[in-house]
Amino acid sequence: MNSHPLVSIGGLTFNVSNCLSTLIAAIIVFLIFFVLSRKIEMRPGKAQNCLEWIVDFTNGIVKSQFPNKSEARPFMLYAFVLFAFIFIANQLGLIFEIAVGGKTYVKSPTSDPIVTMALGTVTLVLSHFFCVQKFGFMGYLKSFAKPVSFLGPINLLEEFTNFLTLSLRLYGNIYAGEVLLDLLVKLSHTLGLITFVGVMPFSMIWQGFSVFIGAIQAYVFVTLSSVYISHKIVAD
Amino acid sequence: MQTTLWLAAESSSLGDTLFVLISFIILTLLVKHFAWGPITQMMDKRVKKITDDLDYADNERQEAESLKQQRMTALQDSKAEAVKIVADAKQSGKDQRQSIVDQAHSEAQEINQQALADARQAKEDAMKSVQSDVAQISVDIASRIIGRELSVTDQKDLVDSYIKELKTSNETK
CB contact under 8 A, B10 and A41: no
**Nearest-10 crossing angle of helices A16-36, B13-31:** 10
CB hemisphere CA count around A151 (13 angstroms): 10
Report which of residues A104 and A32 the model is more confident about.
A32
Over residues B145-156, the pLDDT tens digits come to 777 665 667 777
Nearest by Cα to B43 from A154, A236, A44 = A44
Q: Across the strands, what pairs with A7?
A: A14
Closest-approach residue (CA) in chain B for A35: B35
Which of chain A's residues have a Cβ under 8 Å away from the Cβ of B26?
Answer: 26
Rounded Cα distance, A224 and B171, in Å: 149
pLDDT grade, residue A93 (50/70/90)? Answer: confident
Closest-approach residue (CA) in chain A for B31: A30
CB contact under 8 A, A36 and B32: no
**Nearest-CB residue to B36 (from A6, A9, A77):** A77
Rounded Cα distance, A132 and B65, in Å: 54
Average pLDDT score over residue span A141-162: 84
CB contact under 8 A, B19 and A19: yes
User: pTM for the full model?
Assistant: 0.71
**Nearest-CB residue to A15 (from B8, B12, B36):** B12
CB contact under 8 A, B17 and A117: yes
Over residues A20-50, the pLDDT tens digits come to 889 999 999 999 988 888 888 878 888 888 8
CB contact under 8 A, A37 and B28: no
**Nearest-CB residue to B45 (from A12, A29, A42):** A42
CA distance A55 to chain B (A): 8
ipTM: 0.86
φ, ψ of residue B113 to 5 degrees: the values are -65, -45
**Nearest-CB residue to B34 (from A15, A37, A115):** A37
CA distance B3 to chain A (A): 14
Q: What's the mean pLDDT when you consider all of chain B?
A: 85
CB hemisphere CA count around B106 (13 angstroms): 5
**Nearest-CB residue to B27 (from A8, A26, A52):** A26
pLDDT for residue B148? 63
Rounded Cα distance, A149 and A158, in Å: 15
Rounded Cα distance, A105 and A99, in Å: 6
Rounded Cα distance, A25 and A111, in Å: 13
pLDDT for residue B9? 47
CB contact under 8 A, B17 and A118: yes
Most B CBs within 10 A among A3, A7, A8, A163, hence the mutation to make, goes to A8
pLDDT grade, residue B103 (50/70/90)? Answer: very high
CA distance A176 to chain B (A): 21
pLDDT for residue B6? 46
CB contact under 8 A, B36 and A117: no
**Nearest-CB residue to B23 (from A11, A22, A78):** A22
pLDDT for residue A217? 92
pLDDT grade, residue B82 (50/70/90)? Answer: very high
CB–CB contacts below 8 A, A to B: 115
CA distance A44 to chain B (A): 10
Report which of residues A112 and A8 the model is more confident about.
A112
